[in-house]
Amino acid sequence: MQHKDDLIRQAFDAEHFRRNGHELIDLLANFLHSATSGELPHALPWQEPQDQYRYWEEGLEKGGDTTPQALFAEVLESSIRIHHPRYMGHQVSPSAPLAALAGLADGFLNNGMGVYEMGAAGTAIERVVVKAVAKKMGFGQEADGVMTSGGSLANLTALLAARSARSPSPAWQEGQKERLAVLVSEEAHYCVDRAVRIMGWGEGGIIKVPADETYRMRTELLPEYLERARRDGRHVIAVVGSACTTSTGSFDRLDVIADFCRGHGLWFHVDGAHGGALAFSPPHRHLLAGIERADSVVMDFHKMLLTPVVATALIFRDGSQAFRTFSQRAQYLWNQESDEEWFNLAKRTFECTKLMMGLKAYTLLRIYGPELWEQYLGRVMEHGRRFAALVRETEGFELAAEPQCNIVCFRYKADGMPEEAANVLNGAIRRAIVEEGRFYIVKTDLRGRVFLRVTLSNPFTAPGDMQALLARIQDIRKTL
Ligand SMILES: Cc1ncc(COP(=O)(O)O)c(C=O)c1O
């Protein structure tokens, strides 16, 4: 911007917007091409955090000597490339370009969404999306829910509903009286632990059931753990099943947990932030057997369904349960605390103002149909199988467990190498890979052993990329 006078007019000038928008889309389209084709050498242009900070701070200090296009190009230059076939790190899928455009429309419209008037289309779209997911999960017409900013918040919201439904006294109105607890796999995502502590149940409120050698909850231990919790004076209200776990992508036996919950009057919650998406993939639906009997389910769109972060569905088998969580009077928003108005979303979420969260998923569903997700899920699930086969075939490598989805944990460990040395080596390998930036992978600690970890969520990752990763690791470990 050259002239400092009348900046408001400039900032809202429709022709500036048109020109900047066209330039931005050109920039992103070129980036998309070079990222997905692997022309870009780096999946991660690594810089130390302090250098990164100084760079952007200096940019601001220099002032307005740049153009929007140059600024956006700088951002691309310094950001991790989720669309790159050698991005194999955390569980974020590359955003489908059309879903990203929906995000742009959302940002521009800036509808607040808390009450119906502040997001009429967005509110209805969100419900259509939630209902579509509910149907795929195997729920009936009475299922309903909301969308939230991420799986962590959705899991907390689900557990608040569980407390409201199963706690002997009304904690929302009177404060927490009983010593409540949930049973959960030791491999569950840390946000479940955090949710329990936020609710004030303390460390003893989260009872971790051991996992087996494939990192699935040992469901045969549930009766013993429930009994022990009761003896310790804990009132267990729910069991949380993971579909799947974060570290190893392992699916708990949801059907067994459903039986257990029914037998003991417990709330059954499924954290399907990652793997819940497989409800859209008929060949893999069996991994979720029993999910249709859950009281509540969480599923992220941004992990396995190609939408930009963040968009999460929280679904209740009995939709009316959602209204019990936050019963509260906000005079300026609505008059009746008790009315179950599906169209005033803030009645059921922690958030007041939020994104038009369903729009990105709805756009993909409406334009491509669920077949896009089905094809994508088929592709990335096959990636997991193929990468595991390569690990098995390549000397010096081993799997942590047979992968159940597109998350694979593996490590380099030569014959006879002591565990401690293998831990140090794999930690150093991961650090070298990140700093080099040609691949992006992460690591995890499994029962004291360090494993490298990939989430193969890029449909353009080819077997050659997987082989190249293992070859690069071989080269790196020789230098360490
Ligand atoms: C199983 C599971 N639950 C919850 C979460 C948290 O979801 P979000 O990052 O959307 O808050 C994750 C994220 O990795 C996860 O893997």
What structural domains and CATH numbers belong to the chain?
7-36+46-79 (no CATH), 104-368 (3.40.640.10), 371-479 (3.90.1150.170)
Question: Relative to the CA of 242, which ligand 1 atom is closest?
Answer: 1
pLDDT digits (tens, 9 = 90+) for 135-181: 999 999 999 999 999 999 999 999 999 999 999 998 988 998 999 99
Q: What is the pTM of this model?
A: 0.96
Ligand 1 contact via 151 beta carbon (within 6 Å): yes
Per the model's pLDDT, the better-predicted residue between 340 and 312 turns out to be: 312
| pLDDT for residue 405 | 98
Contact present, 96 and 70 (Cβ < 8 Å): no
- Comparing CA positions, the residue from 223, 225, 284, 308 lying closest to residue 259 is 223
| pLDDT for residue 457 | 97
Q: Phi/psi of residue 213, each to 5°?
A: -70, -15
Contact present, 290 and 257 (Cβ < 8 Å): yes
Ligand 1 contact via 275 beta carbon (within 6 Å): no
| pLDDT for residue 344 | 85
| pLDDT for residue 323 | 82
Per the model's pLDDT, the better-predicted residue between 466 and 176 turns out to be: 466
CA distances from 458 to 72, 242, 399, 402 (A): 23, 23, 21, 20
| pLDDT of 22 higher than 70 | yes
Provide mean pLDDT across the span 342-348: 85
- Pairing of the two strands 449-455 and 397-399: unpaired
- Comparing CA positions, the residue from 450, 389, 399 lying closest to residue 421 is 450
Per the model's pLDDT, the better-predicted residue between 346 and 168 turns out to be: 168
- Is the sign of the CA dihedral 273, 275, 276, 280 positive or negative? positive
CA dihedral 99, 103, 109, 111 (to 10 degrees): 100
Dmax (CA) of the chain: 73
Q: Exposed, middle or buried, 190 (CB in 10 Å: 0-12/13-18/19+)?
A: exposed
| pLDDT of 4 higher than 60 | yes
Neighbours of 320 (CB within 10 A): 10
Angstrom distance (rounded) from CA 140 to CA 142: 6
When pLDDT is cut at 50, 70 and 90, the band that residue 432 belongs to is: very high
Angstrom distance (rounded) from CA 168 to CA 18: 58
Provide mean pLDDT across the span 311-326: 91
Provide mean pLDDT across the span 377-399: 98
| pLDDT of 329 higher than 60 | no
Per the model's pLDDT, the better-predicted residue between 175 and 4 turns out to be: 175
Classify 80 as helix, strand or coil: coil
Rounded distance from Cα 99 to ligand 1 centre (Å)? 20
| pLDDT of 331 higher than 60 | no
Provide mean pLDDT across the span 45-66: 92
If you average pLDDT over every residue of the chain, what do you get?
Answer: 95
pLDDT digits (tens, 9 = 90+) for 64-122: 779 999 999 999 999 999 999 999 999 999 999 999 999 999 999 999 998 999 999 99
List of E strands, 62-171: 144-148
When pLDDT is cut at 50, 70 and 90, the band that residue 333 belongs to is: low
CA distances from 126 to 99, 135, 270 (A): 14, 14, 20
Contact present, 292 and 138 (Cβ < 8 Å): yes
Rounded distance from Cα 273 to ligand 1 centre (Å)? 5
Ligand 1 contact via 314 beta carbon (within 6 Å): no
Angstrom distance (rounded) from CA 41 to CA 19: 30
| pLDDT for residue 335 | 58
| pLDDT for residue 65 | 79
For the beta sheet containing 407-412, the strands, ordered from the edge strand earlier in sequence to the opposite edge, are: 397-399, 407-412, 449-455, 442-446
Angstrom distance (rounded) from CA 260 to CA 262: 5
Q: What is the DSSP letter of 63?
A: -
| pLDDT for residue 5 | 80
Q: Residue 22 pairs with which residues in a beta bridge?
A: none
Contact present, 235 and 128 (Cβ < 8 Å): no
Question: Relative to the CA of 245, which ligand 1 atom is closest?
Answer: 1
Q: Please identify which residue in the block is written with the tokens 């140059």.
A: 70
- Pairing of the two strands 296-300 and 267-271: parallel
When pLDDT is cut at 50, 70 and 90, the band that residue 345 belongs to is: confident
| pLDDT of 336 higher than 80 | no
Per the model's pLDDT, the better-predicted residue between 322 and 306 turns out to be: 306
Angstrom distance (rounded) from CA 461 to CA 379: 10
Rounded distance from Cα 160 to ligand 1 centre (Å)? 17
Provide mean pLDDT across the span 400-429: 97
* Among 149, 157, 185, 189, residue to substitute to test ligand 1 (most atoms within 8 Å of Cβ): 189
Q: What is the DSSP string of 291-329?
A: GGG-SEEEEEHHHHS-PPS--EEEEESSGGGGGGTT---
Ligand 1 contact via 273 beta carbon (within 6 Å): yes
| pLDDT of 250 higher than 80 | yes
CA distances from 79 to 42, 46, 75, 470 (A): 10, 9, 6, 24
Angstrom distance (rounded) from CA 12 to CA 9: 5
| pLDDT for residue 63 | 77
